[in-house]
Chains A and B, each alone.
Chain A
Amino acid sequence: MAITTEADPTPMVLGIAAALRRSESLKPSLIAGMKGVAAVCSEHDPQAVTIRFSRGDVHVEHGRADDVGVAITMDLAQDGLPGAPKPNVEGVLTHLRFALSLAKVIDPPLPDWRSAADSYWAACSMRPHMPSGMVVVETDSGDRHVVGDPTTAGYEVHGPADRLARVFVGTAVALEELLKGRIQGRGPLALAVAITDAGLALGLGEVEP
């Protein structure tokens, strides 16, 4: 089984490929059973990818190909937010099973926020400019979780479980979440940028969780 991308991939190609790899690691049989061509398109801009499933081998390329069986069009900026509009799915009547599987594999279940933080830290703590440790606070419960060196933790990230998990998996951009008030932080701007950059690298599959 292999998940490959076109040469010189777009960010959306990389992001979808990273999501497929997460899905594959969680439930390999789901992708292994898929055969067909699908597209995922942005509702508000030209971003689009075509995914070719062939019983475990998957290839992702940019753009919407002519031969797609199922196409999902979604608001990428709202993805994962409460009240986000439902994606529009074409081809669901003729390719029901494939469409249902597609919806699952491009948006795999999020890990628990603590596990996400641990995986993030394991993958990214050695990247340039990262803090020596990080405190993560889940704001609904008040629970704290420390990754790295607890005595010199240089940055705190506060937020609800779902947003924390998305930031640490790399499907939400930390500084953008901060800017929009969905999470909060305490520490130098330099570390906020480094933490954001590392999350982006995870989301684009530049580093493996």
Chain B
Amino acid sequence: MSQLSDLAAGGTVRTVRLMASLPDGRLIGKYVSATHLLEMLPSGPNVADIVFGLDVDNDPFVTAWSTWRGELAELYLAPDMATLVVDPRTDGMATVICSFVLPDGSPIPECPRGMAQRLLTQLADRGFTMRVGFEIEFNAFEESVAEARGRGYRDLTPLGGNVRSMYSTTKSLLVVRFMDALTRRLDQLGLHWESWMDEGGTGQFELNLEPDEALRTVDHATLARLAIREVAEEMGHCVTFMAKWHPTEWGGGLHCNHSLWVGDTSAFYDESCDDNRSTTFRHWVGGLMATMAGAQAVFAPNVNSYRRLVELAGSPTTVTWSGDNKTTSLRAMARTPGSARAEHRAPGADSNLYLVMAVVLAGGMAGLDEAIEPPPPCAEMAWGLPAEDPKLPRSLMAATEAFRSDHRLAAGLGAEFVDFWAGTRKWEWLAFHTTGGDPDSPLTDWELNRYFERV
């Protein structure tokens, strides 16, 4: 608050963009004058509760309801002033990330950020802190977003050309200029990036942020994804976070690297254990494995997400884990205390960062609480395995059913959220099939129009 006071008094900030993440990942909020916000704090402005009742196309869900909702009653944006960043794009603008709360200040069970916060508190009650690093994947195109819209998001030119070349460092200057502008923007925003690289698909890139305290990382990754879109727009390009934007191109992921700590000591590393994986780590992996099928409804939240699950095309397809085997859904590495971490590879580029965090926490903590031993690690290639090997759900409804019946996820996420999310996913499935989607088409205009700009 004092930071905003100083910035407002000095004329650096006139307007604050307050924004919060809806469960489907859209960021919504209000632009508020700095003076007005200072008068309101610690509370924030209100929004109508219908925001939790509309799909990405602003149509009302009829398959999901929240007990706290009224007749378009007010709920509030609770600003976390620690997230304040001055926006370099516009003179006098700042951005603050918020959570959704009820008028009495109590958290909303379906607020993704609030849920992640609550679960992190529960993790702290067990004596651990968590560090997280996301691998943010996206696809960039030479065309502007206006041109992309005009073409129905088809026939676009991948930034860097049509040659697939993983880890390429020799693509066109357009790529370097765009990514350099992006990393400069991240520096201006105070978001610590580690690296970026050319990914397997054409025009596909991966940005890695420095691992940090869990909630801060998720907030920063949220701001970074926004910066990617904004920098692309400023440079006359466009980007998408769709899991699959083209039928024959690789899908996009959002790998979640994370580790538990007790003070400055890794809770995942123990030299006396097999492969240095501590008992805590083993049980954490056991929990993630036990909840992996249900978690897929969050990691792959849209009909389009399941088009990413292709054998031998980068994305995991099986309920498997390993030490260092990137064909599995989960890697659990403990070479050194500092690098000991789990990498969940199932989340797609279109998933909600806060919900991914919450689902990982719910699964991992269930593993700790129940001392769940993981199945044997997968030592072979995890693609193309025979039918008897457990696979990730291959459709939104199959994943939703697994999610709805997962008692461990329900215990962590809350029954109300499970009911709400399952209802919204059913709605997404209904919308696809009844308003123009085609399950037999490799990619439909319906998906491109619905998701290209909005996930």
In the complex, chain A residues whose CB is within 8 Å of the CB of B419: 128
Interface string of A192-205 (1 = CB under 8 A from B): 01101100100000
CB-nearest residue of chain A relative to B435? A45
Q: Given A46-B438, A63-B440, A197-B423, A10–B63 Cβ distance below 8 Å?
A: no
The reply to whether the CB of B61 lies closer than 8 angstroms to some CB of chain A is: yes
The reply to whether the CB of A47 lies closer than 8 angstroms to some CB of chain B is: yes
The reply to whether the CB of A103 lies closer than 8 angstroms to some CB of chain B is: no
Contact B433 A47, beta carbon cutoff 8 Å: yes
Bound-state CA distance A63–B64 (Å) is 28
Q: Contact partner of A10 among B62, B64, B394, B433, CB < 8 A?
A: B433
Contact B395 A175, beta carbon cutoff 8 Å: no
Bound-state CA distance A113–B398 (Å) is 34
The reply to whether the CB of A158 lies closer than 8 angstroms to some CB of chain B is: no
Q: Given A45-B436, A46-B438, A188-B71, A11–B62 Cβ distance below 8 Å?
A: no
Residue tally, chain B, CB below 8 Å to A? 29
Contact A129 B65, beta carbon cutoff 8 Å: yes
The reply to whether the CB of B90 lies closer than 8 angstroms to some CB of chain A is: no
The reply to whether the CB of B170 lies closer than 8 angstroms to some CB of chain A is: no
- Main secondary structure on chain A at its contact with chain B? helix
Q: Contact partner of A200 among B63, B436, B438, CB < 8 A?
A: B63
Interface string of A38-57 (1 = CB under 8 A from B): 00000001110000000000
The reply to whether the CB of B323 lies closer than 8 angstroms to some CB of chain A is: no
The reply to whether the CB of A122 lies closer than 8 angstroms to some CB of chain B is: no
In the complex, chain A residues whose CB is within 8 Å of the CB of B65: 128-129, 190, 193-194, 197
Bound-state CA distance A55–B435 (Å) is 34
The reply to whether the CB of A17 lies closer than 8 angstroms to some CB of chain B is: no
Q: Given A45-B435, A46-B438, A128-B419, A193–B62 Cβ distance below 8 Å?
A: yes
In the complex, chain B residues whose CB is within 8 Å of the CB of A47: 433-434
The reply to whether the CB of B161 lies closer than 8 angstroms to some CB of chain A is: no
Interface string of A57-84 (1 = CB under 8 A from B): 0000011000000000000100000000
Q: Given A194-B65, A197-B63, A46–B437 Cβ distance below 8 Å?
A: yes
Residue tally, chain A, CB below 8 Å to B? 24
Contact A11 B63, beta carbon cutoff 8 Å: no
Bound-state CA distance A196–B435 (Å) is 18
Contact B435 A193, beta carbon cutoff 8 Å: no
Bound-state CA distance A193–B61 (Å) is 8
In the complex, chain A residues whose CB is within 8 Å of the CB of B60: 175, 193
Kindly list the 5 A-B residue pairs having the minimum CB-CB distance in the complex, ordered from nearest: A46-B438, A196-B62, A193-B65, A11-B433, A175-B62
Give 21 CB contacts A-B under 8 Å: A8-B394, A8-B397, A8-B398, A10-B433, A10-B439, A11-B433, A11-B434, A45-B434, A46-B437, A46-B438, A62-B439, A128-B419, A129-B65, A129-B67, A175-B60, A190-B67, A193-B64, A194-B65, A196-B62, A197-B64, A200-B63
Residues of chain A touching chain B, judged by Cβ–Cβ distance below 8 Å, are 8, 10-12, 45-47, 62-63, 76, 128-129, 173-176, 188-190, 193-194, 196-197, 200
Q: Apart from A188-B70, A190-B67, A193-B53, what 14 extra A-B contacts exist at CB < 8 Å?
A: A10-B433, A11-B429, A12-B434, A45-B434, A174-B62, A175-B62, A190-B65, A190-B69, A190-B70, A193-B64, A196-B62, A197-B64, A197-B65, A200-B63
